Structure 1
Amino acid sequence: MKHHGIRGLLGAAAVAASLVAAPPVLADYPVQTVRLITHSSPGGGMDVFLRKIGQHLGPIMGVHFVVESVTGSGGAAAMAAVANGPKDGSVFYGSTPTHIITSLLSNPSVTYEEMEPVVNLFNDPQTVYVLTESPYQTLGDVVAAAKENPSSIVVSVSTPGSLDRQVMEEFQTLTDSSMIVLTHDGGGDAILSVLNGTAQVGVSEIAELRGQMEAGKVRIIATYTDERVPGIGDVPTAKEQGYDLVISKFRGIAGAKDLPPEVIAAWEEGVAKLMEDPEFRAWYEAEGLQNAYQTQAEAVAAREAFVTSLQAFFEKFDIN
Structure 2
Amino acid sequence: MKRRHLISSALALSAAIGLAGPAAMAQDAYPAEPIHITVVWPAGGGHDLVGRLLGNELSKVMDTPVVVDNVTGAGGTTGMRHVADADPDGYTIGVMGLHAISQSFMNANAPTMEDVDPLVYISDDPGALEISADAGIDTLEDYVAAMKDDPMALMNGNDPQGGNSFVFANVIPKGLGIDMMKLPYPGHAPTVTALLTGEVQTATLPIPPVLEQAKAGTVKVLGVASEERHPQLPDVPTFKEQGYDIVTGDFVMIVGPKGMDPAVKKTLSDGILAAAQSAAFTEAATSNGMVLRAGGPEMAAAELTTQVDTVYPLLLDAGLVAEGLERE
8 Å contact from structure 2 (residues 173, 180) kept in 1: no
Q: Which residue of 1 aligns with 2:182?
A: 182
8 Å contact from structure 1 (residues 156, 190) kept in 2: yes
Q: Which residue of 2 aligns with 1:32?
A: 32
8 Å contact from structure 2 (residues 147, 153) kept in 1: yes
Q: Which residue of 1 aligns with 2:100?
A: 99
Q: Which residue of 2 aligns with 1:318?
A: 319
Q: 1:178 to 1:231 in 2, by over 3 A?
A: closer
Q: 1:193 to 1:280 in 2, by over 3 A?
A: closer
Query: How big is each residue's C-alpha offset from its partner over 1:151-173, in whole Å with a ceiling of 9 and x where there is no partner?
Result: 55554433244433433443444
Q: Which residue of 2 aligns with 1:261?
A: 262
Q: Percent identity?
A: 25
Q: Which residue of 2 aligns with 1:249?
A: 250
- Cα distance in 2 between the residues matched to 1:29 and 1:243: 54
Query: How big is each residue's C-alpha offset from its partner over 1:183-238, in whole Å with a ceiling of 9 and x where there is no partner?
Result: 41434554455446565432112333246446643122322233332334632222
Matches within 5 A, 1:93-172: 93-108=94-109, 110-147=111-148, 152=153, 154-172=155-173
SS of residue in 1 equivalent to 2:76? helix
Q: Which residue of 2 aligns with 1:280?
A: 281
- The answer to which of 119-128 and 225-234 deviates more is 225-234
Matches within 5 A, 1:283-302: 283-302=284-303
- Cα distance in 2 between the residues matched to 1:40 and 1:163: 11
8 Å contact from structure 2 (residues 36, 93) kept in 1: yes
Structure 1 portions without partners, runs of 5+: 1-27
Q: Which residue of 1 aligns with 2:12?
A: none
Q: Which residue of 2 aligns with 1:12?
A: none
Deviation at 1:66, TM superposition (A): 1.8
Q: Which residue of 1 aligns with 2:49?
A: 48
SS of residue in 1 equivalent to 2:144? helix
Q: 1:97 to 1:138 in 2, by over 3 A?
A: same
Number of matched pairs: 292
Q: Which residue of 1 aligns with 2:228?
A: 227
Structure 2 portions without partners, runs of 5+: 1-27, 323-328
Q: 1:49 to 1:147 in 2, by over 3 A?
A: same
* Aligned-residue RMSD, C-alpha: 3.0
**Which one-letter code corresponds to 1:121 in the other structure?**
I
Deviation at 1:148, TM superposition (A): 5.3
Deviation at 1:283, TM superposition (A): 0.6
- Cα distance in 2 between the residues matched to 1:235 and 1:273: 32
Q: 1:280 to 1:84 in 2, by over 3 A?
A: same
Normalising by structure 2, we get a TM-score of: 0.75
- Cα distance in 2 between the residues matched to 1:54 and 1:128: 30
Normalising by structure 1, we get a TM-score of: 0.77
- Cα distance in 2 between the residues matched to 1:42 and 1:144: 36
- Cα distance in 2 between the residues matched to 1:303 and 1:55: 25
Query: How big is each residue's C-alpha offset from its partner over 1:256-309, in whole Å with a ceiling of 9 and x where there is no partner?
Result: 113223333334433443344222211111110011223222222322332333
